[in-house]
Chains A and B, each alone.
Chain A
Amino acid sequence: MNQTFKIILVKVGFGCVLLALWQAVASARFMPAHLFPGPGDVLKSLMDIARDGTLWTSIRLSMGRMLVGYSISLLGGVAVGVLAARSWLFKETVGSLIMALQSIPSICWLPFALIWIGIDQRAVLAVVILGALFSIAIATESAIRNIPPIYQKVGRVLGARGFVFSRDILFFAALPELIGGLKIGWTFAWRSLMAAELLRADQMGVARIIETGRSYNEIAMMMAGMIVILAVGLTVDLVVFGTLERRIRRRWGLEK
């Protein structure tokens, strides 16, 4: 049997077992049905929010925030990372500061953002940006540092210097490792956004599905919200970043 096929079969099988277990626990009635609904109820709730449009609006709004926030993190993070890799002074000062700031979960900046920026979209956006920026900067710096020195020498003797060298050689030589860092940055941004949405009652978004469910005491809807968060996160991870990573690795000859 084909190896990939075997892996898919095992994963699907494991998913079925999980569903069955969930159903079994729900049917055993350790808790009243409305406090611990089974997969059927959650699916029904999911279909309800899909039908009334809540689901699509939420995804659209959340993804919009992600795209704007992540793009800013990407530009800023890569720029900071390149600077840190090229100047030791920058690395020892700003670089160290970023290392330190990275240990603060970005959601902790929300209260500050609310006061400094105001109670609108932009506070949430700030949290998303801070969630990804530092990790992208750190990943960029490390990816550039790990570039084999031969590219540096070859680039210089062929006549590449300054910005042209960074654009034509550093960037591409760093790309296979960089893409992994960008993926982690996306995951951090996504988590930060979910946390921020959970705390901001005035805006719709994927995480609000959970809060809405809680306010109606509808656990099935809360679980549906969790599933949406998981599904969106996983899709971007596998489809967008997974494909990108595979393409790059194949072109670079790092895998067949």
Chain B
Amino acid sequence: MSIQFQNVSKAFVQNGQGAARIIQALNPLSMEIRDGEFFSIIGPSGCGKSTLLNLLAGLETSDSGNVTVDNVPVEGPSPNRAVVFQEAGLMPWMTVSRNVEYGLKLQGLSRDERVHRAEKYLKMVHLSKYANAMPHQLSGGMKQRVSIARALALEPKVLLMDEPFSALDAQTRDVLHDEVQRIWQETNTTIVFVTHNIREAVYLSDRVMIMTAPPGSIKRIVPVPFAHPRAKSSSDLSYFTAQLHNQIKEEVDKVAARELDADWKQDAEGLAVAAEGTDYASGI
């Protein structure tokens, strides 16, 4: 399933106090994600990574250009494109197994098929024993694994993951990295993976896309030149990570500078007002 973005842009209207502001989340961008690829997206906060993923998921519609999957334009969500969010978002009133089955039920699979598939994918994330547990009985990492199983059970062509591990501790994350990688190799799914963790992106991906400071556009798309499976502790990987780190830091620094600048301007205005107030003193 190759994915194409052609001149895709997106702006949001934000209704704050007073006038509505228009926020350009994505400047027009074009790119292609190859069939079966593990493709990561990194960039400073607010640069439009989630927006890009939501456009692909069909949760948002673009202002210009189009997003196509195998030359078919994306129009709304589809079970071919499953999504794992940062929050597991399990439905607390359903058992773990029912959570995994729900999407299949909507697709009209028979009860037997549903149960069978739920078993298969819960086994894949090592949670068979918890099939009949309620979500609140699971730890954060276990919940996220269920949400991965729920996405995989749809047997999607594309798996979209938006910072799926960022709320987890380092050990759990390590385990899930290997699970996702194994599943990716077993299922041939195309994976689009948004993260803030450069190491994670380098460890898992075929290519990493670095985005610019907002409004987001593509800064570079970097192939990771190491064969899978990779060793997490490899020094090649560390060196590569450090290099990418510098490129991203440039963008993050831009964001930080802008924010500092805004603060600085406010401070300066404050000073100007204060200076006016004390004007009489300078006259003496």
Contacts and interface: CB of A to CB of B under 8 A. Distances in A.
Interface of A: 150-151, 153-154, 156-160, 164, 168-169, 172-173, 175, 251-253
A160 B102 CA distance: 9
15 contacts: A151-B89, A153-B59, A153-B83, A153-B89, A154-B85, A154-B91, A156-B59, A157-B59, A158-B102, A159-B79, A169-B91, A173-B91, A175-B93, A251-B92, A253-B135
A251 B91 contact: no
Given A157-B59, A159-B103, A151 B91 contact: yes
B87 interface: yes
Kindly list the 7 A-B residue pairs having the minimum CB-CB distance in the complex, ordered from nearest.
A253-B136, A158-B103, A150-B89, A159-B106, A154-B89, A157-B83, A252-B92
Nearest to B81: A157
B215 interface: no
Interface string B49-66: 000000001110000000
Given A157-B59, A157-B82, A253 B106 contact: no
A154 B78 CA distance: 12
A137 B103 CA distance: 30
Contact of B77 (A159, A164, A252): A159
A156 B77 contact: yes
Nearest to B154: A158
Given A153-B85, A156-B59, A252 B136 contact: yes
Does more than half of chain B's interface fall in helix, strand or loop, or is it mixed? loop
Interface string B92-113: 1100000000110011000000
A159 B79 CA distance: 7
A160 B134 contact: no
B92 A164 contact: no
A169 B106 CA distance: 12
Contacts of A251: 92-93, 134
B106 A157 contact: no
B137 interface: yes
Contacts of B106: 158-160, 164
Contacts of B92: 251-253
A157 B77 contact: yes
A26 B86 CA distance: 67
Nearest to A172: B93
A157 B107 CA distance: 12
A250 B15 CA distance: 38
Contacts of A173: 91
Given A151-B91, A252-B136, A253-B136, A168 B59 contact: no
